[in-house]
Amino acid sequence: MWQGLLLAAFGGALVGLQNIFNKRVHEKASPWTTTTLVLGMGFAASLLMGLLMEGEQLFNLGNMKLWFWFSGVIGVGVVVCITQATKLLGPTYATSIALISQIGFALWWDTQGWMGLEKVPFTFNQAAGVLIIVGGILVFKLGGAVKLRSARKPLKDAG
Partner 1 sequence: MKGWIYAVLGGGFIALQGAANARISADIGTWQAATITQFTGFVTALLIALAVGGGSFKELKRVKPLYLFGGAFAAAVIYSNVTAIQSVGLTLTVAAVLIAQLAMTFVIESRGWFGIAKQKMGLPQFIGIAMMIAGVIVLKS
Binding residues among 111-130 for partner 1 as defined by CB under 8 A: 114-118, 120, 125-126, 128-130
Distance of closest approach, residue 159 Cβ to partner 1, in angstroms: 21
- Cβ-based neighbours of 79, under 8 Å, separated by 6 or more: 31, 35
98-106: Cβ within 8 A, 24+ apart: 99/137, 99/141, 100/134, 100/137, 100/138, 103/130, 103/133, 103/134, 103/137, 104/130, 104/134
Pick 70 or 158: Cβ nearer partner 1: 70
Give, in order, the Cα–Cα distances in Å from 135 to each of 36, 90, 143, 159: 34, 20, 11, 35
Distance of closest approach, residue 133 Cβ to partner 1, in angstroms: 3
Distance CA 12, CA 1 (A): 17
Pick 110 or 155: Cβ nearer partner 1: 110
Distance of closest approach, residue 154 Cβ to partner 1, in angstroms: 17
Pick 42 or 155: Cβ nearer partner 1: 42
What are the helix and strand counts (H, E) for the chain?
5, 0
Pick 25 or 158: Cβ nearer partner 1: 25
* Contact call for residue 91 and partner 1 (CB under 8 A): no
| Binding positions for partner 1, 11-40, rule CB under 8 A | 11-25, 27-33, 35-40
Distance of closest approach, residue 158 Cβ to partner 1, in angstroms: 20
Closest by Cα among 110, 100, 92 to 133: 100
